[in-house]
Amino acid sequence: MKVVVTGSTGLIGTALVRALQARGDEVTRLVRRVPTTGEARWDPEGGQIEAPSLEGADAVVHLAGVGIGDHRWSEDHKRAVLDSRVKGTTLLAQTVAALNDKPAVIASASAMGYYGLRGDEVLTEDAEAGTGFLADVCKEWEGATRPAEDAGVRVVHLRTGIVLSPDGGALKQMLLPFKLGLGGRIGSGRQWWSWIAIDDEVGAILHLIDNGTERGPVNVTAPNPVTNEQFTRTLNGVLHRPTLLPTPTFALRAMFGREAVDEMFLGGQRVVPARLQADGYGFRHPDLEGALRHILHKGT
């Protein structure tokens, strides 16, 4: 296959490109800097893209966007988060729609934040959108693919959960305090954390671009979400560390702001991958303890 990837240097993109190349696919990475071999340039802010790089591609995997959980949520950062997703997705979708030889599928990143904060409600892809900043971002993000959908391209929205990898994301940030025995639940610990191992994140994306039928929203999460307290106890158990005092929310709010902490840490979504499972995807790591042991090389 010929696959075009945006966000190829991020946590998911790096692992995806490695997997695509390992199976012999031809990968073109869309980058903002001067391109080198195997790359093409695009500039979402400036509305520019090398359209020929998309011509004749079998699939496009669109993962680019400003990081959500690595900055305090100022109004400027929130605007950057939204604009980076909507502008980039709109440019990509409009460009694909105008091609003579269009890709068969676009797998476009989204997030489980689409559902808002829903307590213990089990959320399949049929659940309605929630409220809040992240839900609003996801709604606009997904809506920006409309030009490609209207042109007949199969579009999949990857509503991804917390991606577990020691190389980046939430788990990497947790590892040092947890290894020092300082890992504790956040708030009540009853909020649901829907997670997925990096191997399954990549495996699910490959499954979806290879499969010629699935379209629309797909929850890219493991089939067994856990509460924050369960996550904390499991990670501490794998690392052979005690579960001590709760993580102080005032410290998190000082770092990220109240809104970010309420949506990312104290709220949660109990998301299940109904469509992935119905479509026959077999999870390598369906349970959290096994996933963490594999990722962290801790054996059984």
Q: pLDDT value at position 68?
A: 86
Q: DSSP per residue over 196-241, as a string?
A: EEHHHHHHHHHHHHH-SS--EEEEES-S--EEHHHHHHHHHHHHT-
Helices (H) and strands (E) in the chain, counts: 11, 14
Rg of the chain taking only CA atoms, in angstroms = 19
Asked whether the beta carbons of 124 and 206 are under 8 A apart, the reply is no
Q: pLDDT value at position 249?
A: 79
CA distance 107 to 123: 21
Q: Which of 129, 127, 143 is nearest to 82 (CA)?
A: 143
Q: pLDDT value at position 184?
A: 85
Provide the residue type at 95 as one letter. Answer: T
Asked whether the beta carbons of 113 and 138 are under 8 A apart, the reply is yes
Tens of each residue's pLDDT in the chain, 300 residues: 999 999 999 999 999 999 999 999 999 999 999 999 999 999 999 999 999 999 999 999 999 999 887 778 889 989 999 999 999 999 999 999 999 999 999 999 999 999 999 999 999 999 999 999 999 999 999 999 999 999 999 999 999 999 999 999 889 888 888 888 878 888 889 999 999 999 999 999 999 999 878 999 999 999 999 999 999 999 999 999 887 778 777 777 777 778 878 887 788 899 999 999 999 999 999 999 999 999 998 866
Residue 48 pairs in a beta bridge with 43
Domain that holds residue 56: 2-296
13: Cα within 13 Å, side-chain hemisphere: 21
Q: How many CB atoms lie within 10 A of CB 254?
A: 12
Compute φ and ψ for 271, nearest 5 degrees.
Answer: -100, 135
Q: State the total domains in the chain.
A: 1
Q: pLDDT value at position 299?
A: 67
Residue 49 pairs in a beta bridge with 42
CATH number at residue 52: 3.40.50.720
Residue 244 tokens, joined: 């001590």
